[in-house]
Amino acid sequence: MPDLLLGALTADPAGLLPAREQMAVSLGWHIVLACFGVAFPTMIFVVHRRGVVRDDAVALRLARRWSKVAAVLFAIGAVSGTVLSFEMGLLWPGLMGPYGDVLGLPFAFEGLSFFVEAIFLGLYLYGWDRMPPRRHLLLLLPMAVAGIVGSYCVISVNAWMNMPTGFRVVDGQVTDVDPWAVLFSSGTVLSFAHMWVGAFMVVGFVVAAVYAAGMLRGRRDDHHRLGFTVPFGFASVAAVVQPVIGHVLGMRLGETQPAKLAAFELATTTEQPAPLRMGGLLVDGDPRFYLAIPRWGSFIARGSFRKPVAGLDTVPREDWPPVNVTHVAFQTMVGIGTLLAVAVVVFWIARWRGRDPLAHRPVLLGAVLAGPLAVLALESGWVATEVGRQPWTVWHVLRTPDAATDNPGIWWSFAGACLLYLGMTVAAYVVLRSMARRWRAGEEHLPSPYGPEEVPR
Amino acid sequence: MSLPELVAAALFAGVLAYGLFGGADFGTGWFDLTAGGSARGAAVRTQVDESIGPVWEANHVWLVYVLVTWWTGFPETFAAATTTLFVPFLLALLGIVLRGAAFAFRKYSGTLGQARVFGAVFAASSLLAPFFLGTIAGAIASGRVPAEGYGDRWHSWLNATSLFGGAIAVGTCAFLAGVFLTADAARAGRVALARTLRRRTVGVGVATGALVFAALVPILHDAPTLADGLTGRAAPLVALSGLAGVATLVLLVRHRYAAARVAAVLAVGSVLLGWGLGQYPWLLVDEVTIEQGAGARATLVGLLVAVGLAVVVVLPPLVWLFRSTQWPATAEITDHGAGR
Ligand code: HDD
Ligand code: HEM
Ligand code: HEM
């Protein structure tokens, strides 16, 4: 707990703590839906294309259903993203005032991509049975591209907060602003790659989990097989690639944000070579309850079994991030990532040797679990990155207390935000469940219940 | 035009587009809310679904465009507005979120009971959002947002100009939506539905017109800078708006729905433009001008590049979306349960 209060030493603005919590909740919620915006159009495309090209009725039906699910998810994804746009100003005026023109341009391009995504989503949903099938299918491609470009742009802002460029501060004034340097910063590429692949993991495992659950209940038809295989295939590739990208990303931290890396590794003192600490917490300034594997800390953090890993002793005390939150979140992500990578490799080897892993209940159970695990890894990754950046909002440029609003009412807005997100989660769950139930009952078109029966779609 | 003025114009173009497209979207909530019980209201609600279903998300992105252009182009004024107008921003946001989510949920809800709940949330929050956005506009226009931010958190938007601004926003949104819904219903051959909608739209139009004129009196006292602009430079636009509003009503009564749509857009568009012209050159009235509030030049140039790209990349598909989903008649849908 003292960890969390570290920022509260001096007179902090009244809004600091609730603003941080509110930002965390809204970003944590948005990011899951954003993943669907990034990865789902591609998966729908693969299934829909199969339906059109091979004249496969099962695939076509699946694509049609997924597009309705996408309609719901993208709608709440869009509104929760709007929340973030407001919150940037409402919660972080100290960031947006002085630095709005430094970090804003990527958001402008992000806005462009969301426009494209929203337009083509509208066209695609409307186009079923109304457009030539092949043209209709192609509408998914701009959506997929827009989702990728949009998330690249947002990530570039986040990368800038971690590796600021494109401006100078002279006598407290921000000058020499070069917004393009933010958009094309070298720091973005890796972060984006990691996020992009993470999105495919999350969507792939979550969607596959739905169909694995169906198979567990005995629904073993072509529909469920296809619904499982396509997203699971995407997720598998992503799961194998992800640890590699994550590892390279971690190595960069040694140069750019050593304090964050030290917190990740629970390194209080500089060690050469450093051990890998599994588990563990910082208690009264000392790492406890961990399992140490010699030398591996150096390898993971620096890519060599001999290089030193800088400890927190090299960082002034007031610049420490909340170590425990950062460390636990980081290890959760890495642990889950490693587990999932190993699991999919085993799965495909078994498949390749002619077995059918899906015939076994434990495999299906594991596939169901992989969905929530991937989401947890994603959330942990963000918590590690964002909390590990503390006490800086912009690394070594702007402290979080200076970014936060001085509004005492934020606890109210935070409570409201929690209620709102809870409500939306429950409502989304109820609606998606009832859609699935109606589909199983043979109602393909899901007319709105208050409308005349003959409304199409 | 200077560089900051160009960016401000691009920003205002977004406000205009959001006011018209987003406004017509929001306004459907009024007709949904007052459509009656589930049997009687089914026709109106289905029409709302059909009319805004494919386009609401795209229409909504205009708001994102406005926010992003504002904080990138004029960052300090954005921070000043969010710290001062925290409450209406938050409430508008609440409206926007609830409305978008509930609209999507309602469309696919499994039972009538669920649809009722989501429908009520959708309709009510559709009024909330434009109201509070209107109070924000009123606060800025009446010079209540100090340049350094953290202005009075309550009086900044609880005042005559703001409250009238909110009410006018709700009224104009409903008016726009009514005209569009009536035209859509008529084109789809739902005669009885078009008749009800037309009657109610004329009512909304008359009420909103009266409200706008009633608002002029307090605004003249409360927001002198804006009032000077409205009665001076922007006077022709105000007059045009009044004329176009009356024309809309006449065209509606005469069943000239396509023309009525054009007139309604003209009426609302010229009010918005009048506001913009009226408060020029102020960004935050009496506090910060466009030139003073502008961010770094390189960023302004970047924004114009983004805007140029938007014209090339976004506008053509947007036109395609509107053409393919809004204009052809969907004749296969019958006039079911309307007007009973
Ligand atoms: C499905 C999700 C997922 C999975 C399985 C992993 N990650 Fe991750 N990770 C993310 C999702 C994520 C993320 C949430 O997307 C982050 C936050 C910011 C970012 O760009 O990616 C992230 C951040 C992040 C960072 C911080 C970068 C920074 O602060 O600049 C490092 C060092 C790693 N990851 C390393 C790994 C390693 C070594 C993994 C090995 C298995 C791993 N990640 C799996
Ligand atoms: C501070 C951070 C963020 C802000 C201000 C923000 C803003 C927004 C906004 C305004 C929208 C809605 C656009 C619309 O109306 O369609 C949106 C949607 C989206 N965001 Fe975020 N976002 C943030 C973080 C992220 C992150 C981290 C990602 C990740 C990769 C992301 C990816 C997306 C995607 C793909 C969509 C489209 C989703 C959909 O339509 O379902 N955003 N975001
Ligand atoms: C690329 C997109 C993102 C941007 C631009 C962004 C921006 C921000 C900003 C401005 C803050 C507040 C300042 C600060 O606390 O330093 C913040 C804090 C935070 N964000 Fe992010 N964020 C992004 C993605 C995410 C995601 C997806 C999560 C998911 C969980 C997340 C989790 C957090 C948390 C936990 C905090 C609070 C940290 C603390 O105060 O200890 N962020 N982020």
Q: What is the mean pLDDT of chain A?
A: 89
Assign A7 a pLDDT band (cuts: 50, 70, 90): very low
CB contact under 8 A, B75 and A97: yes
Residues B299 and B237: beta-carbon distance below 8 Å: no
Residues of chain A positioned with their CB less than 8 A from the CB of B65: 111, 115
Calculate helix-pair angle for B75-84, A57-91, nearest 10 degrees.
80
Mean residue pLDDT of chain B comes to: 89
Q: List the single best residue of A95, A110, A115 to mutate versus B (max B Cβ within 10 A).
A: A115
d(CA A333, CA A103): 28
* Residue A320 near residue A259 (C-beta atoms within 8 A): yes
ipTM of the complex in this document: 0.83
What pLDDT does B308 receive?
92
- Residue A457 pLDDT greater than 70, yes or no: no
User: Minimum mean pLDDT among A227-231, A260-264, A298-302, B235-239: which range?
Assistant: A298-302
Q: Does B189 touch chain A (CB under 8 A)?
A: no
Instruction: Work out whether strand A173-175 and strand A168-170 pair parallel, antiparallel, or are unpaired.
Output: antiparallel
DSSP B21: I
Does residue B331 sit at the A interface (CB-CB below 8 Å)?
no
Q: Give dist(CA A95, CA A403) in Å, integer.
A: 5
- What percentage of chain A reaches a pLDDT higher than 90? 58
Predicted confidence band of residue A451 (pLDDT cuts 50, 70, 90): low
Q: For residues A13-20, give the mean pLDDT.
A: 86
Contact A13, B83 (CB under 8 A): no
CB-CB under 8 Å, B332 with A100: no
* Residue B107, CA distances (Å) to A49, A71, B331 in order: 26, 10, 21
Question: What pLDDT, in 10s, does the model give residues A175-222?
Answer: 888 889 888 888 899 999 999 999 999 999 999 999 999 999 988 899
* Four-residue CA torsion sign, B173, B176, B179, B184: negative
Which of A211-215, A222-226, B284-288, B304-308 comes out lowest in average pLDDT?
B284-288
- Per-residue pLDDT, A354: 83
Q: Are B136 and B145 in contact (CB under 8 A)?
A: no
Element (H, E) at B272: helix B257-279
Per-residue pLDDT band at A9 (split at 50, 70, 90): very low
pLDDT per residue as tens digits for the range B233-285: 999 999 999 999 999 999 999 999 989 999 999 999 999 999 999 998 898 88
Cα within 13 Å of Cα(A63), Cβ side: 27
Residue nearest to atom 3 of ligand 3 (CA): A158
Ligand 3 within 6 A of A167 CB?
A: no
**Amino acid A233: pLDDT:** 96
Residue A8 pLDDT greater than 80, yes or no: no
Confidence of residue A11 (pLDDT cuts 50, 70, 90): low
The yes-or-no verdict on residue A405 having pLDDT over 60 is yes
Minimal-distance CA residue of chain A relative to B319: A119
Distance to chain B for A5, nearest Cα, Å:
25
- Model confidence band, residue A251 (pLDDT cutoffs 50, 70, 90): confident
Tens of pLDDT along B83-125?
999 999 999 999 999 999 999 999 888 888 888 899 999 999 9
Distance CA B157, CA B140 (A): 9
Q: Categorize the per-residue pLDDT at B327 as very low, low, confident or very high, splitting at 50, 70 and 90.
A: low
C-alpha B262/C-alpha A176 separation (Å) is 46
Could you tell me the pLDDT band of residue B3, with boundaries at 50, 70 and 90? Answer: very high
Instruction: Look at B321 and A123 and tell me if their CB atoms are within 8 Å.
Output: yes
Atom number, ligand 3, closest to the C-alpha of residue A31: 27
The alpha-carbon radius of gyration of chain A (Å, integer) is 23
Question: What are the CA-CA distances from residue A81 to residues A76, A183, A453, B7, B98 (Å)?
Answer: 8, 19, 34, 24, 13
CA nearest to B273, candidates B1, B19, B23: B19
Work out the average pLDDT over A85-102: 90
Distances (CA, A) of A132 to A129, A144, A218, B53: 8, 20, 36, 21
Q: Is B18 on the interface with A (CB under 8 A)?
A: no
Residue A10 class from Cβ within 10 Å (0-12 exposed, 13-18 middle, 19+ buried)? exposed
How many whole angstroms separate alpha carbon B265 and alpha carbon B24? 10
Distance A1 CA to ligand 3 centre (A): 20
| Minimal-distance CA residue of chain A relative to B293 | A97
Q: How many CB atoms lie within 10 A of CB A429?
A: 10
* Residue B207, Cβ density class (10 Å: 0-12 exposed, 13-18 middle, ≥19 buried): middle
**Distance (Å, rounded) from C-alpha A82 to C-alpha A64?**
27
Say how many C-beta atoms besides its own lie within 10 A of residue A353's C-beta: 7
Q: How far apart are CA A201 and CA A183, in angstroms?
A: 25
**Contact B108/A448, CB-based, under 8 Å?**
yes
Q: Where are the domains of chain A?
A: 16-184+407-457, 238-402
